[in-house]
């Protein structure tokens, strides 16, 4: 499960849809009025600007976090209005900060000052042009696209009107080819009307990025990784090349099993897999079809959900158990306010946002989670993931506000997932949830479940931004939006549209992050980084088990190494933070190959004699 989290940094506060943006290009402080040229500015001006801006950011972050928390936990028209007002205020400030920071581009400043100025510039996900009418237009487009997605429904042939949630539930559980096809096609009827708005949003976003000194919006996004934009794109392809052999064998096996289920006339064995048969509306993860592809005799002999009940775990005990994982590594226990202010169960008397999330309200010790916890094994793992965010947030609390963030935007998700990778049978036995560890013959089923979620996702996590970068650069023009989308999906995922798509369709818009303007490379990075972090921590802990069986529970050496990296926040290039834990400044996806090695061997055996590739 992906989590969202509240970061006390302007990068998140201004990542919204730029609602009611003024386009004002002067700062609240008198440091850089519009009439001052960059040649007239000095490092002393930069220092004053950064100090004054930091004070404003701290206040904005606190106000915004409190308003958002109240709105998520007490959903009313009034709390929504208060949250929107706080968001508007921080958004307008973010535009001011970015425009003012850009005026120091040619000023000779210190390395630390330059890093802070760049953080301010790059915090705008969808930068507005320096024109009040255009910035207002961009804000309205963002709001309209979000509304179109959020209100999207489809009325079936039988006359039933379905929300996205109900359609995704059917996609997860139905094994009826025609019903799956209807759900897949039905959801994509909501996006063609988005296309004209998206075209204009791309134009305005490019203009805003160019006003900050970038060639286009895609280049601006890629510049946020402490390396040249073009090198970052090449790095992602290099990492994908390391994972691709494993993905190809998983794809081959899954396609063969789906061919047996639906017939090879519907799932040709020399073609990409039809996108509607993989258990997910976007074919981005395949865990929901585990029952169709599960290895024989894969049952590990225990059910964590049943074991939680047998050991009298309620919602609080589940969270206490996850906290115990972190304290066993040497981290301080959660503050008392965490237990007083978090939301653990859905209230009976009001609506709340139940999506699991981790929050840091004051950049000090007011950390919380918000979940409507279900007493299941999956939720037990999710709690470990969410607390990973919280302990990361607390670790960098002593950094300046500019650096109260993860080393790059993939790190936060990666840390949460790294912790969840230690929720192994060995760990479950150590905390008394199971009596014995299954032998290694049962590992294939557990690894298959994880591969269907994580390995299947990796090429999707790569291609979403590959498509957008081509759109923003002009390589892909509006008349080719949909064609280019499916070309990339076939190239990277080996997944195809189940029916011919009209050239004027806008299937990218059926994925929230596209109309929502949310960069997606962070999720690709997180899937790579979590396995390398896990391998490094296992090595530090002295683990002698196969990496997929390793848990760092109760190992203070691993905890100390992890904390050293977390405390850095974003104060240094992510490569330096990476080296603290892994010993290298370069990401290495071979950790994934190591983790899934037994499954990969098994897949190769199962695929003998089959026609693989797409």
Whether the Cβ atoms of residue 387 and residue 360 lie closer than 8 Å to each other: no
Per-residue H/E/C for 66-119 = HHHHHHHHCCCHHHHHHHHHHHHHHHHHHHHHHHHHHCCCCCCCCHHHHHHHHH
Mean pLDDT of 238-248: 98
Taking 50 as the threshold, does the pLDDT of residue 5 lie above it? no
**How is residue 19 written in tokens?**
């609602």
Confidence band, pLDDT 50/70/90 cuts, at residue 39: low
Whether the Cβ atoms of residue 304 and residue 375 lie closer than 8 Å to each other: no
Mean pLDDT of 498-520: 93
Sequence-distant contacts of 29-32: CB under 8 A, at least 24 apart:
29/53, 31/100, 32/100, 32/103, 32/104
Between the alpha carbon of residue 596 and those of residues 179, 446, 526, the distances in Å are: 34, 10, 17
Taking 60 as the threshold, does the pLDDT of residue 381 lie above it? yes
Whether the Cβ atoms of residue 281 and residue 163 lie closer than 8 Å to each other: no
Q: What is the pTM of this model?
A: 0.90
Q: At what angle do helices 77-102 and 111-122 cross, to 10 degrees?
A: 130
pLDDT tens for 137-151 read 888 898 899 889 988
pLDDT tens for 385-401 read 999 999 999 999 999 99
Which residues in 590-607 are b (16+ Cβ under 10 Å) and which e? ebbebbbebbbebbeeeb
Higher per-residue pLDDT: 32 or 570: 570
CA dihedral (131, 135, 141, 146) in degrees, to 10, reads 170
Confidence band, pLDDT 50/70/90 cuts, at residue 24: very low
Higher per-residue pLDDT: 223 or 298: 223
Mean pLDDT of 275-284: 97
pLDDT tens for 160-196 read 999 998 999 999 999 999 999 999 999 999 999 999 9
Three-state DSSP state, 279:
coil
**Confidence at residue 15, expressed as pLDDT on a 0 to 100 scale:** 30
Lowest-confidence range among 84-88, 251-255, 412-416? 84-88
Q: What is the Cα–Cα distance from 22 to 3, expressed in whole angstroms? A: 31
- Spans of all domains in the chain: 4-130, 246-468+490-504+518-614
pLDDT tens for 63-83 read 999 999 998 888 888 988 888
Q: What is the Cα–Cα distance from 71 to 477, expressed in whole angstroms? A: 39
Mean pLDDT of 425-429: 95
Confidence band, pLDDT 50/70/90 cuts, at residue 480: very high
**How is residue 502 written in tokens?**
């009209």
Q: What is the Cα–Cα distance from 233 to 217, expressed in whole angstroms? A: 14
Closest alpha carbon to 613 in 266, 273, 237, 236: 273
pLDDT tens for 448-474 read 999 999 999 999 999 999 999 999 999
**Confidence at residue 3, expressed as pLDDT on a 0 to 100 scale:** 37
pLDDT tens for 46-62 read 999 999 999 999 999 99
Confidence band, pLDDT 50/70/90 cuts, at residue 586: very high
pLDDT tens for 315-357 read 999 999 999 999 999 999 999 999 999 999 989 888 888 888 9
Residues taking part in catalysis: 355-356, 385-386, 389, 413, 513, 523
Write down the mean pLDDT value for the chain. Answer: 90
What is the maximal distance between C-alpha atoms in the chain? 73
**Confidence at residue 4, expressed as pLDDT on a 0 to 100 scale:** 33
**How is residue 464 written in tokens?**
């979403």
Which one of 351-355, 376-380, 410-414, 494-498 scores highest in mean pLDDT? Answer: 494-498
Three-state DSSP state, 317:
helix
Taking 60 as the threshold, does the pLDDT of residue 34 lie above it? no
Between the alpha carbon of residue 274 and those of residues 255, 283, 286, 455, the distances in Å are: 9, 9, 13, 18
Confidence band, pLDDT 50/70/90 cuts, at residue 27: very low
**Confidence at residue 37, expressed as pLDDT on a 0 to 100 scale:** 52
């Amino acid at each position: 499960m992906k989590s969202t989290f509240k970061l006390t940094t302007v990068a998140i506060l201004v990542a919204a849809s730029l609602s009611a943006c003024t386009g004002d290009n002067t700062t609240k402080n008198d440091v850089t009025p519009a009439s001052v040229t960059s040649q007239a500015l000095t490092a002393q001006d930069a220092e004053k600007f950064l100090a004054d801006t930091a004070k404003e950011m701290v206040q904005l972050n606190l106000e915004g976090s409190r308003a958002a928390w109240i709105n998520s936990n007490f959903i009313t028209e009034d709390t929504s209005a208060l949250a929107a007002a706080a968001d508007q205020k921080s958004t307008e400030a973010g535009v001011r900060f970015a425009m003012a920071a850009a005026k120091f581009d040619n000023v000779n400043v210190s390395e630390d000052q330059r890093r802070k100025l760049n953080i301010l510039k790059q915090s705008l996900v969808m930068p507005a042009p320096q024109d009040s009418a255009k910035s207002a237009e961009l804000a309205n487009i963002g709001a309209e696209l979000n509304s179109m997605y959020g209100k999207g429904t489809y009325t079936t042939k039988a006359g039933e009107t379905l929300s996205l949630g109900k359609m995704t539930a059917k996609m997860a559980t139905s094994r009826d080819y025609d019903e799956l096809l209807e759900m897949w096609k039905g959801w994509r009827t909501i996006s063609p009307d988005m296309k004209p708005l998206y075209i204009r949003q791309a134009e305005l976003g490019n203009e805003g990025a160019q006003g900050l000194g970038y060639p286009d919006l895609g280049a601006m996004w890629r510049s946020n990784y402490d390396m040249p934009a073009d090198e970052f794109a090449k790095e992602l392809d290099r990492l994908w090349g390391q994972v691709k052999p494993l993905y190809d064998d998983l794809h081959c096996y899954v396609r063969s099993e789906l061919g047996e289920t639906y017939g090879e006339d519907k799932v040709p064995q020399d073609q990409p897999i039809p996108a509607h048969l993989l258990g997910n509306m976007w074919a981005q993860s395949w865990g929901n079809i585990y029952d169709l592809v599960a290895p024989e005799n894969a049952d590990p002999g225990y059910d964590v959900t049943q074991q939680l009940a047998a050991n009298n775990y309620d919602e609080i005990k589940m969270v206490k158990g996850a906290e115990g994982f972190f304290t066993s590594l040497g981290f301080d226990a959660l503050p008392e306010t965490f237990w007083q202010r978090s939301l653990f169960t859905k209230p009976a008397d009001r609506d709340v946002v139940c999506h699991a999330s981790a929050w840091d309200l004051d950049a000090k010790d007011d950390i919380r989670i918000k979940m409507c916890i279900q007493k299941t094994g999956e939720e037990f793992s999710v709690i470990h993931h969410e607390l990973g965010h919280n302990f990361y947030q607390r670790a960098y609390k002593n950094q300046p506000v500019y650096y109260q963030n993860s080393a790059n935007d993939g790190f936060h998700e990666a840390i949460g997932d790294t912790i969840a990778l230690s929720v192994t049978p060995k760990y479950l036995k150590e905390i008394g949830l199971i009596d014995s560890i299954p032998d290694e013959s049962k590992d294939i089923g557990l690894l298959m479940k994880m591969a269907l979620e994580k390995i299947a996702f990796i090429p999707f996590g790569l291609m979403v931004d590959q498509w957008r970068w081509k759109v923003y650069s002009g390589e892909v023009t509006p008349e080719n939006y949909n064609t280019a989308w499916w070309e990339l999906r076939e190239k990277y995922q080996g997944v195809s549209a189940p029916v011919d798509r009209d050239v004027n369709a806008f299937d990218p818009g059926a994925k929230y992050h596209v109309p929502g303007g949310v960069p997606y490379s962070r999720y690709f990075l997180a899937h790579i980084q979590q396995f390398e972090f896990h391998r490094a921590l296992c090595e530090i802990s002295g683990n002698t088990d196969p990496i997929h069986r390793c848990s760092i529970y109760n190992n203070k050496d691993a905890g100390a190494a992890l904390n050293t990296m977390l405390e850095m926040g974003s104060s240094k290039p992510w490569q330096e933070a990476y080296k603290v834990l892994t010993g290298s400044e370069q990401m290495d996806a071979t950790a994934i190959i190591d983790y899934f090695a037994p499954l990969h061997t098994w897949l190769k055996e199962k695929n003998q004699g089959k026609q693989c590739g797409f």
